[in-house]
Amino acid sequence: MLKDKKIPELLVPANNLNILKYAVNYGADAVYVGGKEFNLRSIRGNFSIEELEEG
């Protein structure tokens, strides 16, 4: 019966390094981000390569 249970995953969006760190520290199972070149949204606060490496 335990095989049939699906455990939800906490997936958190992050648009800057500070939010990424908070998400990880507060228990997010996964975080999704967009880089400056790979984000479909044209909003400020996208990650640079250096920030992604630090995160």
Q: Where are the domains of the chain?
A: 2-54
CB atoms within 10 A of CB 2: 4
Q: How confident is the model at residue 26 (pLDDT cuts 50, 70, 90)?
A: very high
Q: How confident is the model at residue 44 (pLDDT cuts 50, 70, 90)?
A: low
Residue 55, pLDDT above cutoff 60 = yes
Residue 25, pLDDT above cutoff 80 = yes
Mean pLDDT of 7-33: 90
Q: How confident is the model at residue 42 (pLDDT cuts 50, 70, 90)?
A: low
What's phi and psi for 12, nearest 5 deg? -120, 135
